[in-house]
Structure 1
Amino acid sequence: MNAIETIISTRSIRKYTDSEGANMDESAKEKLLSELVGLLLEERGKKAIVPPGRLWETFRALANTRPPWPAGERMLQLQDELLAEMLRVKGIHGIDEAEASPSNHALRLWRGDITTLEVDAIVNAANSQMLGCWVPGHHCIDNAIHTFAGIQLRLECNEIMQGQGHEEPTGCAKITSAYNLPCKHVIHTVGPIADGCPSSLHGKQLASCYESCLDLAEKQGVTSLAFCCISTGIFGFPQKEAAEIAIRTVSRWLGRHPESGLSVVFNVFLESDEAIYRELLGMPKDGRPANP
């Protein structure tokens, strides 16, 4: 039994109540999801009766594991309508909600869901395939960004990778559209895999991720850019050391490019990461409240 069949067949029906779908009109949501899940199963030659409480989870699993196939107009219409409504419920957050560093107002800090940030571009911590996370419902930034951007994002990434002809090297960057996200673009970069013991090479590669994203952002006319904590998740780069490299690299780049007018947001999700960045950016510990 594969992961999707496990989700569909489970007898433990969990009602979806977290921030991704809280307070949505349940009947409208179920109608959209039911037809959408049906279409996603149909293109795989499958049929299933999915309990209402499992529809979102099944949709996400199907989307996460969907190859970069062309999608029909109806599928995209349903998906885009669903994701737009979910974003409306979660709320969109502008760059002014990110707290500026007292020592450099071009640097900002924001804790919350990066898929709700309305900036010119957000940075995705990708893998070398550059096709998004294939693990159903995985709690990584790559999965979240691809899920809420929509299946169009994997298709565009696949076009880029097919044209490139090889996996994405560590420390480089590519830019795509953002589709159903409130930002305009997604910049994808592959961070080093440190496994808890970063070498000097890993440090240089991580710095290269930030520099490559900044160079590409400037080239594309981006004026507001939100970085996630690259490589600190399953890639195992220690949080504080990664934050030090991030702030140092971005600060030096901005110093060399004063004409860029670029504002950079360090987006964190964990309270521990926020505390690290606050200390390094010279911000008070009791800053703005966390965003949902």
Structure 2
Amino acid sequence: MPTQLECRQGDIANQPDMDAVVNAANAELRPGGGVAGALHRAAGPELDRACRPLAPIAPGQAVITEAFGLPNRHVIHCLGPVYGRDKPEAELLAACYRNALSLAEQHGISSLAFPALSAGAFGYPLEEATRIALTTVSETLPQCPGIERVRFVLFDADSTEVFQRTLDSLG
């Protein structure tokens, strides 16, 4: 059965039916704004303590921790590229998704939820970030037979519409 890919508007910190959620992390894996702030607030201070020995990470890298107070088993932390600064940004962004899926496969995670990596404070244009995200995930999933479901959780209706439209065009 092919992996189910879905897009929905919602709160990345409240995905109780997912084994793991993906954090749009900063290099130091510390609490911050956006997705990182929401996940750290919901998970509690244990997440920050678990992240410290793993930092710093480079753009494109992914690391995994327990989820602590979140309703998931794991958090996969990815550092997306800052648009216009981290080069080559498209390859680094694709590496985030590939590395996150690889970690999920290695840890027996069958379902995971991604935010739109790099599309917020890191300034990646949404349409391009969406195309890279969905194309990379679609191309990587055949090497990850244990992953049954991937969800993109978007903060607002406009982003959700862009992701859904792009996903529909890939089908």
Q: Return structure 1 stretches of 4+ with deviation > 4 angstroms.
A: 197-200
- Sort the Cα spacing of 1:247 and 1:198 in 2 relative to 1 into closer, same or farther, 3 A: farther
2:112 matched residue in structure 1 = 225
Does the 8 Å CA contact 1:108/1:264 hold for their aligned counterparts? yes
1:181 matched residue in structure 2 = 70
SS at match of 2:13: helix
SS at match of 2:72: coil
1:141 matched residue in structure 2 = 35
| Residue segments in structure 1 that go unaligned for 5+ positions in a row | 1-103, 162-166, 284-292
Q: TM-score if structure 2 supplies the norm length?
A: 0.91
Say whether residues 1:276 and 2:158 are aligned partners. no
Q: How many Å separate the matches in 2 of 1:189 and 1:243?
A: 16
Indicate the structure whose relative CO is greater, using CA pairs within 8 Å and at least 6 residues apart: 2
CA apart distance, 1:108:
1.0
Judging by fraction of residues, say which structure has more helix: 1
CA apart distance, 1:198:
7.7
CA apart distance, 1:131:
2.0
Does the 8 Å CA contact 1:198/1:237 hold for their aligned counterparts? no
| Residue segments in structure 2 that go unaligned for 5+ positions in a row | none
SS at match of 1:115: coil
CA apart distance, 1:130:
1.2
What count of residue pairs does the alignment treat as equivalent? 167
Q: How many Å separate the matches in 1 of 2:5 and 2:19?
A: 15
2:126 to 216, 239, 245: 239
2:6 counterpart letter in structure 1: R
Q: How many Å separate the matches in 2 of 1:156 and 1:256?
A: 29
The superposition leaves residues 217-247 of structure 1 with CA deviations (integer Å, 9 ceiling, x where unpaired) of 0000000010001001110000010000000
2:97 counterpart letter in structure 1: Y
Q: How many Å separate the matches in 1 of 2:158 and 2:86?
A: 23
CA RMSD, Structure 1 to Structure 2 (Å)? 1.7
Say whether residues 1:155 and 2:49 are aligned partners. yes
Judging by fraction of residues, say which structure has more strand: 2
Q: How many Å separate the matches in 2 of 1:246 and 1:233?
A: 14
Q: How many Å separate the matches in 1 of 2:87 and 2:45?
A: 37
1:210 matched residue in structure 2 = 97
Say whether residues 1:125 and 2:19 are aligned partners. no
1:191 counterpart letter in structure 2: G
CA apart distance, 1:105:
5.6
2:7 matched residue in structure 1 = 109
1:147 counterpart letter in structure 2: R
Q: How many Å separate the matches in 2 of 1:226 and 1:176?
A: 15
Between the aligned residues of both structures, percent identity stands at 36
Q: How many Å separate the matches in 2 of 1:130 and 1:236?
A: 19
1:255 matched residue in structure 2 = 142
Q: TM-score if structure 1 supplies the norm length?
A: 0.55
Q: How many Å separate the matches in 1 of 2:80 and 2:54?
A: 18
CA apart distance, 1:110:
1.6
Q: How many Å separate the matches in 1 of 2:85 and 2:164?
A: 23
CA apart distance, 1:192:
0.3
Q: How many Å separate the matches in 1 of 2:48 and 2:85?
A: 30
